[in-house]
Structures are given as structure tokens and as C-alpha cells.
């Protein structure tokens, strides 16, 4: 890794990791190029800031769970290439039930991602006693990412109103139609992350970037390798 990048596990091993693009549990349905290990890699400043966020949530008997951290540029290219392929009915029914696939690019899938700068993270909040770090979706019919908790694909997250990587207006951080609990959970996450220097991306409730990121103009493409 370039100087200044770290494995989150080395900074705070208590933060749960469910790195979706290192598995088939994602919208492309397979491991994404560049994800050679299910590890969260970040610039040290972002990892240290997450450690502070985690400490605050643990006082509330909650814990962070990250879905994605640094994302190699080759992975972003793979997403763009996928968006141009023929539609996948199972992916559509789960991840973008109300949209046509052609609407995902460039509306939801960008040619350049802030994740590739190493200071952006996708995450949620999980009860402190949640045991499973990685969740395998059940075989059979797919359920929409907008479905009610307990109906949509399983996850250990508290109820945020949608599952991760939901290409839908309901995944926007501030949107009508949420239950009071869902809205309160989103606001709690945004408030704590903001307190520790992270800005939320308004179209993805799970997406946060460190405000004072060290490489605001640099795109990296090194692979995520197993931690030694």
C-alpha cells in the first residue's frame, strides 16, 4: 500500500467488516476486481477518525460495520462496464427495483469515485451484541432493497429504511416516507460521523467522506491484499 494507508483492523479491530465487493453479495453478483481480500483499507486519518466514532457508539451499546472503504480505480471501471451490460433480473429486483439499468449510469454509478482517494467509507450501525460480521443472502427469490426490515436481504444493521447499495430515492439520507425510527437512526449516524469530521453524501445514507482528506485530488488503484 502507499505510505499513509492502513488496515482499519490494525487501528480498531472492534469495528465490524462486511466488505461486500470482496464477495458475491453485491449488485454485480461476483467479487469485484481489486478486492483480493475482505479488508477495509483507509488513509490513517480516516481510520483514526472512525476509531473515535466507534468509541462514541460503543457507549450507546452499538458498533460500526463497514461495507466498503478504499476502492481501487479498477473496481470503479468494473462497475461502469457492468452498467453497460444487459439487465440482470435478480440484481434489478434487489438493488434497483424502481429503475431501469440504463438510469444507473451516470446517475448512481460514477466514472470516478471518492472511495479511490482512501478517505471515504460506506457503513452502518449494528447492535453491539451482533455476532455475524458477514451475512450471506438466502438462495431463491430476491427481495427489494426497499422492503421492510425482516423482509429484505438479511443484515445485522439497525433499521435504516433500506439495505446497502440500494439504488433508489429511499436511500437518500433525507427523504419522506421513513418511519420515525428509521429517520432517527439515520440522523444519529450522520450526527456522530459529522462530529468526528465526516461529511455525508446526500444520495447515499451510508456514504461518508473525511472532510480534511489528505489526497483530495489523487485517485489510487492498488489492490486490496490480505493483511499480513
Residues forming the active site: 204
Partners of residue 207 on adjacent β-strands:
122
201 exposed, middle or buried (CB, 10 Å; 0-12, 13-18, 19+)? middle
Cβ-proximal residues to 89 (8 Å cutoff; 6+ apart), any chain: none
Strands ordered across the beta sheet of 207-210 = 16-17, 62-68, 120-127, 207-210, 198-200
Which has the closest alpha carbon to 10: 42, 57, 52, 35?
42
Amino acid at each position: 500500500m502507499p505510505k499513509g494507508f492502513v488496515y482499519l483492523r490494525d487501528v480498531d479491530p472492534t469495528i465490524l467488516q462486511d466488505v461486500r465487493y470482496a464477495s458475491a453479495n453485491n449488485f454485480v453478483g461476483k467479487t469485484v476486481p481489486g478486492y483480493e481480500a475482505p479488508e477495509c483499507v483507509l488513509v490513517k486519518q480516516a481510520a483514526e477518525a472512525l476509531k473515535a466514532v466507534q468509541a462514541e457508539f460503543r457507549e450507546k451499546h452499538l458498533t460500526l460495520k463497514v461495507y466498503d472503504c478504499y476502492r481501487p480505480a479498477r473496481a470503479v471501471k468494473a462497475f461502469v462496464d457492468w452498467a453497460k451490460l444487459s439487465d440482470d433480473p435478480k440484481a434489478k429486483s434487489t438493488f434497483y427495483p424502481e429503475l431501469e439499468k440504463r438510469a444507473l449510469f451516470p446517475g448512481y454509478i460514477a466514472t470516478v469515485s471518492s472511495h479511490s482517494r482512501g478517505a471515504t467509507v460506506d457503513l452502518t450501525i449494528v447492535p453491539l451484541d451482533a455476532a455475524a460480521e458477514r451475512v450471506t443472502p438466502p438462495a431463491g427469490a430476491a427481495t427489494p432493497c426497499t422492503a421492510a426490515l425482516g423482509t429484505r436481504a438479511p443484515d445485522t444493521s439497525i433499521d435504516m429504511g433500506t439495505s446497502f447499495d440500494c439504488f433508489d430515492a429511499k436511500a437518500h439520507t433525507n427523504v419522506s416516507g421513513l418511519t420515525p425510527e428509521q429517520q432517527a437512526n439515520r440522523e444519529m449516524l450522520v450526527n456522530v460521523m459529522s462530529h468526528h469530521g465526516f461529511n455525508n453524501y446526500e444520495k447515499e445514507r451510508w456514504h461518508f467522506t473525511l472532510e480534511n482528506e489528505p489526497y483530495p485530488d489523487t485517485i489510487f488503484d492498488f489492490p486490496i491484499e490480505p493483511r499480513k
